[in-house]
Amino acid sequence: MIRIDEVFISSFGKFKDFSLVLNGGFNGICEKNGYGKTTIAIFIKAMFFGLGKNRSSKIAENERKRYTPWESNEKFGGYIKFTFKNKQYKIERFFGKTQAGDTFALFDSHNVPSNDFSENVGFEIFEIDAESFERCLYIPQKDVVIDASDSLTSKLNKLVDNTDDYNNFDTATERLLDVQRQLVSTSRTRNVSRKIKILDEINATQEKLFSAQQSYIQAEEKQKQAEINRHELARAQNILHELKEKQRASDSKKALLSKAEVFLRVEANYNQAKARVDELVEKNADVSQEYIKDISDKIEQIELEKQQVAKLQTEFEKEAEVPKQSKAPYVAFGLLALIIVVATAVFVRELVATPVLFALPVVALVLVGVLALNSKIKFNAKIKGIKKQKKQTKEKLDQQIAKVDDMQNALSQTFANHKIFEPNFHVALSQLKNNKVVFEQAIENYRLAVNEWNQKKADPEFALAMDSGKIETVDYTAEIRRMDEHVLELSNQNARLQKEVEIFLSNANLASDFKNRIERLELALADTEEKAKLAEVTLACLQQAKTNISQSFMPDIVQNFNKYISIVTNGQYDRASLDDKFNLRLHEKNSYREFDYFSKGLTDLGMFCLRLALVDTMYGENLPFLILDDPFVNYDNQKLQMALQLLGERSKKCQIIYFTCHEA
C-alpha cells in the first residue's frame, strides 16, 4: 500500500542534515540509547500529520516545543519520499513556533508540485488521525492504551456494509445524553419527589391564600384610613397653597418697597440736579461761547488802549522836557558872546590904545546881542508851539485814560454779575470759562436725571411704589415650613398605607397565579417524562445498533489476534475476547481473564499482537508500513525471538521500520 523510501531531516530535535534510506521490507536500525531513534519516528509521523496545536507547557506533552532545535530559532523540518499506489511523492514540511508558521508542500517524482493530497495527507492516506496512528501503526516503547477512538472506529466501520451513520455515533450519543441531562431525571424516585414538592407548594399556596384573604380585610381598613388621610392631605395642601400665595404677595410688596427706595433716590437726584442748575443759571444764564469771546475781545481791546495810554504818556513826558533843553543853548550863547567881547576889549586895549580899536568890542557885543535877541525870539515862538502841542497831548491822554477806565469798569461789572471779583481780567476770564464747564456738566447731569425720572415714572408700578408707605408685609416662612412638614408626613403615611394595601391585594391575587403555575408545572413534568423516556429508548436503540455493527468486525480482530498470540506463545494461548471498547481478555483455565492478571511481558506481547490484528482488520491486503520504537524491552529472549520472527514474516507483506538498541 505505502512505503517510505527516504527520510531527510534538515533540522529536527538533535538531528541536522540527517538522511536515511529505507527498503520496502524489514529495516532494522540499531543504535545506542540517546541516538535519537524516537526523534526519527516522531519526524516521520510529523511529516504525514504535522505537529498539531498542543499548547501544553510540559515539554514531554508538547512535541513542537520538545523537538525545536536548541541551536536555532529558525523553522525546522525536512522531507520524506514515499511510494503510494506505485507513485512516488515527496512531502516537505517546516515548522514554526506555532502552527500558523508551519509550511507544507507536496511534490511528485519529478519534483513538480502535486495536488493529489492536501496538508491532511496522513488522514487522506491512512484514513485515521495522528492519535489513532500512534495506537496502531506506530508502536513505541511506552505503554499506549488501545481504545475505540473516533477515527479508529470510523476506519473499522468502513469495512462493514451500510454503516455510514456509524461515524456519527459518538456525536448522536452525546446529544442524547445532553437531552437527558437537561430533562428531568429518569429516576422515578426523583420524579415522585418533584411531584411531592409541587403538591407541598400547592398546600403552601392555599395557606398563603387564606392569609391573603385575612390581609384583604386589613387592606380595606387601611384603605379607609388612607382615604381619611387623603382628605386631610388635600386640606393641608390647600392651606399650604394659600400661605404660599400670601408669601408671594408679601414678597411682591417687599419688591415694591425696594423699588420705592430706588424711585425716591432717583427723585432726590433729580431735585438735587435741578437745584444745582437753578443755582448756576443765576450766575451763568447768559454765558455762551460768543459771550466769552466778546469778553476776551474786550480784554484785548483794553490791553491795546492801555498800550496807547502808555505811548501818549511817554510823548507827554518828552514834550515837558523840550523847553528846558531849548533855553540852555541860548544862555550859553549869550555868556559866550559876553566873554568874547570882554576878552576882545582887554586884548585890544593892551595892543592898541586907539579909540577905533577900542570901539571894536562894542561893535562885537552889539552884534552878539542882536544875534542873541534874534535867537530868543525864535526860541519863544518854538516854546509857544511846544506848549500848545503838550496841551493837546495832555487832553488826548486824559481822554484815553478815561476811556480805559470806562472799559475796565464795565468789564469789572460784567465779572461782578457772575460773582467774579478778581482784579486780573485774565484770571477772571479763566474762572468764567471754568464756571461755563461746570454749568454745562450740571446741565448734562440734569438732563440725565430728568430722563431717568421720566423713565421711572413710566414704570407701571411707579404709583404703587411711591405709595408703598402704606404697604404692610408679613413673613409666612415659618408657617409654610411647618405646613410643608405636615404635608410631607401625610404624604409618606399615605404612601406606606398604599404600599401595604398593594401587598395585601397582591397576596390575595396570588392564588390564581399559583394554580396556573401548578398546572403548567404538571404539564411540563409530563412532557419532560415523555421526552426523557423517548431519549432513553433512542439511546438504547443506538447503543444496540453500535453493538451490532461492532460485532460485525470484532470477530475478525479476535481471529487475527488469536493467530498472532498463538505464534508468539508457541500455542500456549490461542483464544481471547474483545468488546467494543477494545477491552481484551485472554482465555486460560476455562475462563477469560483481563491482562492485569498476567505478567508485564505477556501483557506487552498481547498489546503488540492486538495492534497487528487491528491493522490487518483495518487495511486487509493493503498493509501500510509499521514503525516500532524498541517495544520489546520487557520481553524475555524467547518472546523476543518469536516477536522478531513474526515481524520477519510480516515484512514480506509490508514495510517494517524497527528501531532498537539491542542486537538480535
pLDDT in tens, 423-465: 887 787 787 778 777 767 777 777 787 777 677 666 666 665 5
pLDDT tens for 51-79 read: 987 777 788 788 999 999 987 778 999 99
Q: What is the pLDDT of residue 551?
A: 58
Give me the amino acid identity at 621.
E
pLDDT for residue 39 is more than 90: yes
> Does residue 529 or residue 611 have the better pLDDT?
611
Element (H, E) at 28: strand 26-30
Place of cell 506533552: 61
**In the structure grid, which three cell numbers stand for residue 183, read together?**
430533562
Give me the amino acid identity at 329.
P
Which of 447, 449, 439 is closest to 271 using CA atoms?
449
**In the structure grid, which three cell numbers stand for residue 655, read together?**
514495510
Q: What are phi and psi of 581, to 5 degrees?
A: -95, 10
Q: pLDDT class for 159, splitting at 50, 70, 90?
A: very low
Give Cα 183 distance to the centre of its chain.
Answer: 49
SS3 574: coil
Sign of the CA dihedral with 149 first, then 155, 158, and 159 last: negative
Helix 477-568 to helix 169-182 angle (10° resolution) is: 140
Give me the amino acid identity at 561.
F
pLDDT for residue 262 is more than 80: no
Q: Which of 139-148, 169-178, 602-611 is the most confident on average?
A: 602-611
- Annotated domain spans of the chain: 2-147+582-660, 288-417
Q: What is the pLDDT of residue 358?
A: 54
What residue spans of 569-632 are helical by DSSP H? 600-619
Q: What is the pLDDT of residue 162?
A: 39
Report strand pairing: 26-30 vs 76-84: unpaired
Query: Taking all residues of the chain, what is their mean pLDDT, rounded to a whole number?
Result: 77
67 within 8 A of 16, measured Cβ to Cβ: no
Q: pLDDT class for 542, splitting at 50, 70, 90?
A: low
Q: What is the pLDDT of residue 419?
A: 72
pLDDT tens for 346-390 read: 655 555 555 555 566 666 666 766 776 777 787 677 777 777 777
107 within 8 A of 114, measured Cβ to Cβ: yes
614 within 8 A of 136, measured Cβ to Cβ: yes
514 within 8 A of 205, measured Cβ to Cβ: yes
**In the structure grid, which three cell numbers stand for residue 363, read together?**
561893535
Q: pLDDT class for 161, splitting at 50, 70, 90?
A: very low
Q: pLDDT class for 509, splitting at 50, 70, 90?
A: low
40 within 8 A of 20, measured Cβ to Cβ: yes
Q: What is the pLDDT of residue 528?
A: 67
Q: pLDDT class for 284, splitting at 50, 70, 90?
A: low
Q: What is the pLDDT of residue 515?
A: 63
422 within 8 A of 429, measured Cβ to Cβ: no
Q: pLDDT class for 186, splitting at 50, 70, 90?
A: very low
Render the burial of 439-448: b for 16+ CB within 10 Å, e for the rest: beebbebbee
pLDDT for residue 163 is more than 50: no
Distance in angstroms (rounded) separating the CA atoms of residues 93 and 213: 82
Architecture of the domain made up of 2-147+582-660: 3-Layer(aba) Sandwich (3.40)
Which of 597, 596, 626 is closest to 609 using CA atoms?
626
SS3 62: coil
Average pLDDT over residues 25-45: 92
Give me the amino acid identity at 569.
T
Q: What is the pLDDT of residue 117?
A: 96
Which of 254, 134, 122, 87 is closest to 615 using CA atoms?
134
> Does residue 293 or residue 150 have the better pLDDT?
293
Distance in angstroms (rounded) separating the CA atoms of residues 24 and 7: 13
> Does residue 288 or residue 391 have the better pLDDT?
391
Distance in angstroms (rounded) separating the CA atoms of residues 555 and 84: 29
Average pLDDT over residues 506-533: 67
Distance in angstroms (rounded) separating the CA atoms of residues 650 and 644: 10
Q: What are phi and psi of 331, to 5 degrees?
A: -65, -45
Q: What is the pLDDT of residue 123?
A: 93
156 within 8 A of 553, measured Cβ to Cβ: yes
What residue spans of 354-476 are helical by DSSP H? 355-417, 425-458, 462-466
Place of cell 524467547: 638
Q: What is the pLDDT of residue 658?
A: 93
Q: Which of 293-307, 467-481, 636-650 has the lowest mean pLDDT?
A: 467-481
Quote the DSSP letter at residue 184: P
Q: What is the pLDDT of residue 547?
A: 62
Question: 38: number of CA atoms within 13 Å, CB side?
Answer: 13
Q: What is the pLDDT of residue 91?
A: 98
pLDDT for residue 149 is more than 60: no
Render the burial of 409-425: b for 16+ CB within 10 Å, e for the rest: eebbebbeebebeeeeb
SS3 352: coil
**In the structure grid, which three cell numbers stand for residue 535, read together?**
431519549
Distance in angstroms (rounded) separating the CA atoms of residues 128 and 611: 14
**In the structure grid, which three cell numbers stand for residue 431, read together?**
474762572
pLDDT tens for 81-137 read: 999 999 999 999 999 988 999 999 999 999 999 999 999 999 999 988 888 888 888
Q: What is the pLDDT of residue 85?
A: 92
292 within 8 A of 454, measured Cβ to Cβ: no
**In the structure grid, which three cell numbers stand for residue 3, read together?**
512505503
Distance in angstroms (rounded) separating the CA atoms of residues 213 and 291: 109
pLDDT tens for 402-415 read: 877 888 788 788 77
pLDDT for residue 282 is more than 80: no
Task: Determine the Cα angle at 27 with ends 29 and 75, to 5°.
Answer: 65
> Does residue 513 or residue 550 have the better pLDDT?
513
Q: Which of 34-43, 142-151, 157-166, 629-638 is the most confident on average?
A: 34-43
Q: Could you give the percent of the chain with pLDDT greater than 70?
A: 68
Sign of the CA dihedral with 277 first, then 281, 283, and 288 last: positive
Indicate the pTM of the whole model.
0.47
Which of 451, 539, 457 is closest to 179 using CA atoms?
539
Give me the amino acid identity at 51.
L
Q: Which of 409-413, 536-540, 573-577, 601-605 has the lowest mean pLDDT?
A: 536-540
Distance in angstroms (rounded) separating the CA atoms of residues 427 and 402: 24
486 within 8 A of 239, measured Cβ to Cβ: no
625 within 8 A of 651, measured Cβ to Cβ: no
**In the structure grid, which three cell numbers stand for residue 94, read together?**
517546516
159 within 8 A of 553, measured Cβ to Cβ: yes
Q: Which residues contact residue 403 at a Cβ distance below 8 angstroms, ignoring those fewer than 6 apart?
A: 305
1 within 8 A of 624, measured Cβ to Cβ: yes
Q: pLDDT class for 601, splitting at 50, 70, 90?
A: confident
468 within 8 A of 256, measured Cβ to Cβ: yes
Q: What is the pLDDT of residue 364?
A: 64
**In the structure grid, which three cell numbers stand for residue 252, read together?**
411682591
> Does residue 284 or residue 567 have the better pLDDT?
567
Average pLDDT over residues 251-255: 71
**In the structure grid, which three cell numbers stand for residue 219, read together?**
387592606
